[in-house]
Amino acid sequence: MLQDFASAPILEACRLASAEMSPQDAIAGFNAATKYESEAGLVIDMGRRALARCAAERGGATRFMSELFAEAVSYYASRDLPSYVAASGRIANSSDAIALKNSFRSITRQQVESVGDAELAPKQWREYVGKILGVLQSRSTRK
């Protein structure tokens, strides 16, 4: 997982987000940077969606990372939640599942932003992503 999220294309997307360009220009730059990329396809797709949202909001690098990981959480929740909807003692209905998924996204954004500003230098990039993964995988609550 670290390898995918700490990849050079995701670093480039983070740099594009920090450049505060239009969503069209940011996505064009990301598409050019990933034109020949064959690794980490799912994460690259998540990065593209997160970059588009972040560029539209002029969110910057740290906001991009929070959107990227919120996108990942949303993907896994969307994949796994349907089997829990309407089962006895589980999620009552689709509306509750959507609300739960939105809560997951919000919590994820807060946790990623708690790590601090994005590190865009290649040497610190992998360590920064590792810190994010550590926070997200921690079972303790953060304040």
pLDDT of residue 38: 63
The larger pLDDT score, comparing residue 3 to residue 13, is at: 13
Indicate the domain borders of the chain.
2-137
The pLDDT of residue 102 is 92
Q: Is the pLDDT of residue 136 over 80?
A: yes
CA dist., res. 118 & res. 116, Å (int): 6
Region 124-131: mean pLDDT is: 94
Interval 85-125: pLDDT, tens: 777 778 888 888 889 899 999 999 999 999 999 989 988 99
pLDDT band at 143 (very low <50, low <70, confident <90, very high): very low
Q: What is the mean pLDDT of residues 5-26?
A: 93
pLDDT at 19: 92
pLDDT at residue number 110: 95
Query: Each residue of 19-49: pLDDT tens digit?
Result: 989 999 999 999 998 887 766 588 999 999 9
pLDDT score, position 27: 95
Task: Answer yes or no: is pLDDT of 142 > 50.
Answer: no
